[in-house]
């Protein structure tokens, strides 16, 4: 399983490609991709968005499901999805706990 991620151009905020090729701010809302064609299509949509100057650094990320939740496989991506492990009050993890 894969998802597509990027950073927003204007402020660097981490985003993932969600339904309807819209960028979303929580990994849980990312569109899960199975199979090469889906990934290629999502990457193409991401790159087109980069062309429109919405995001930079578009790439794919491996994910798994843990307790029904979408979790990136690599630690780097886990940290991007949450925020610095040293600052629980900052980044996505803070937004998630407020929500």
| Binding stretches for other proteins (CB under 8 A) | 7, 9-14, 50, 53, 56-57, 73-76, 79-80, 83-87, 90-91
Closest CA to 20 of 34, 7, 30: 30
Tell the smallest beta-carbon distance from residue 37 to other proteins (Å): 26
Residue 41 or residue 50: which is nearer to other proteins going by CB? 50
At 90, list the tokens. 């900052």
Whichever of 7 and 21 has its CB closer to other proteins, that residue is 7
Residue 73: how many other CB atoms lie within 10 Å = 13
**In the bound complex, what is the minimum distance in angstroms from residue 70's beta carbon to other proteins?**
17
Contacts of 31 (CB under 8 A, 6+ apart): 3, 4, 16, 17, 18, 19, 42
Q: Of the two residues 40 and 56, which places its CB atom closer to other proteins in the complex?
A: 56
């Amino acid at each position: 399983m894969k998802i597509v991620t990027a950073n927003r151009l204007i402020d660097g905020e981490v985003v993932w490609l969600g339904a309807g090729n819209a960028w979303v701010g929580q990994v849980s809302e990312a569109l899960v991709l199975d199979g090469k064609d889906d990934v290629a299509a999502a990457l193409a949509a991401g790159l087109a968005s980069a062309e429109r100057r919405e995001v930079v650094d578009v790439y794919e990320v491996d994910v798994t499901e843990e307790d029904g939740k979408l979790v990136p496989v690599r630690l780097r991506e886990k940290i991007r999805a949450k925020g610095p492990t040293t600052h629980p009050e900052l980044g996505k993890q803070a937004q998630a706990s407020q929500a």
